[in-house]
């Protein structure tokens, strides 16, 4: 692993556990086994490191979302697969997923910032995916009649809750959520 990769890995862990404001470049350098001058050789500062991490995390996340487009027989399976994907991602990359859904530094909340754009794109894609599944499921009588917008928002909150759990998220939690969803969504 290169020194730059070590810096990114160390920063990811520190940002996820201590937050952006609670993490210093000195801490990042020490955890990465590097010096601050080396850190500044690769990055202009903490903001650039954070931005780099979030760009990478969103790119990987979006590529995984694309895999959910087909291969299922029912709309419920599509929703179930979305929840299982989020559990898989949090199991493989807990720190990265926590960073994706937790609050970002004020500078990165600028709507023109790439991280803000990625966050909005994530929300938009999830909302579209879920509401599309729900509408199709209701139309085909697979799902009970329900309020699509409110149900979509609830499902998105559940997904973000799984991601915020980080390494503490357990498969049993996802299985319980899927079971609850099946009982409440699927028409009898």
Let me know if residue 49 belongs to a domain. no
Q: Read off the pLDDT of residues 82-107 as tens digits, 9 standing for 90 and up.
A: 999 888 888 888 888 888 887 566 65
The answer to whether residues 156 and 64 belong to one domain is yes
What's the CA gap between 84 and 97, in Å, rounded? Answer: 14
Are 36 and 67 in a shared domain?
no
- Let me know whether 127 and 153 are in one domain: yes
- CA dihedral for 71, 145, 87, 96, sign (positive or negative): positive
The total domain count for the chain is 2
pLDDT digits (tens, 9 = 90+) for 1-14: 799 999 999 999 99
Q: Which residues pair with 186 in a beta bridge?
A: 143
How distant is the alpha carbon of residue 36 from its chain centre?
29
Rounded to two decimals, the pTM is 0.84
Mark whether 129 and 72 lie in a shared domain: yes
Q: Do 157 and 106 have their domain in common?
A: yes
Query: Domain check: are 32 and 124 in the same one?
Result: no
pLDDT at 170 over 80: no
Model confidence pLDDT, tens digit, residues 121-160 = 888 999 999 999 999 999 999 999 999 999 999 999 998 8
Cβ–Cβ < 8 Å for 116, 105: no
- Phi, psi angles (nearest 5°) of residue 43: -135, 150
Question: Can you give the pLDDT at residue 97?
Answer: 86
**Strand, helix or coil at 95?**
helix
Mean pLDDT of 25-32: 96
What confidence score (pLDDT) does residue 98 get? 84
Q: Are residues 27 and 120 in the same domain?
A: no
**Has residue 2 been placed in a domain?**
yes
Specify whether 58 is located in the same domain as 38: no
- Judgement on whether residues 39 and 82 belong to the same structural domain of the protein: no
In a domain, 48, yes or no: no
Q: What is the pLDDT of residue 67?
A: 82
Between CA 151 and CA 156, with CA 152 as vertex, the angle to 5 degrees is 115
Query: Is 3 inside a domain boundary?
Result: yes
In this structure, what CATH number is given to the domain that contains residue 1? 1.10.10.60
Q: What is the CATH number of the domain that holds 123?
A: 1.10.357.10
The pLDDT tens digits for 119-130 are 888 889 999 999
Residue 152 lies in a domain: yes
Q: What is the domain range of residue 6?
A: 1-43
Are 87 and 165 part of one and the same domain?
A: yes
Taking residues 12-31, report their average pLDDT: 93
Both 74 and 39 in one domain: the answer is no
pLDDT for position 104: 63
126 and 161 co-located in one domain:
yes
| 36-73 pLDDT tens trace | 999 999 999 998 999 899 889 888 988 888 887 667 78
Mean pLDDT of the chain: 88
């Amino acid at each position: 692993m290169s020194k730059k990769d070590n810096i990114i890995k160390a920063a990811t862990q520190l940002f996820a556990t201590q937050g952006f404001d609670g993490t210093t470049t000195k801490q990042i350098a020490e955890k990465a086994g590097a010096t601050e001058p080396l850190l500044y050789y690769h990055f202009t500062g903490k903001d650039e490191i954070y931005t780099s991490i979030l760009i990478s995390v969103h790119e990987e996340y979006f590529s995984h979302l694309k895999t959910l487009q087909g291969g299922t027989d029912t709309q419920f399976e599509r929703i179930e697969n979305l929840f299982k994907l989020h559990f898989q991602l949090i199991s493989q990359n807990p720190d990265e997923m926590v960073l994706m859904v937790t609050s970002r530094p004020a500078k990165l909340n600028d709507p023109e910032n790439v991280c803000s754009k990625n966050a909005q794109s994530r929300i938009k894609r999830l909302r579209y995916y879920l509401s599309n599944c729900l509408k199709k499921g209701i139309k085909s009588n697979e799902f009970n009649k329900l309020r699509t917008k409110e149900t979509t928002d609830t499902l998105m909150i559940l997904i973000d809750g799984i991601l915020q759990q980080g390494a503490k998220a357990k498969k049993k939690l996802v299985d319980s959520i899927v079971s609850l969803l099946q009982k409440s969504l699927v028409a009898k």
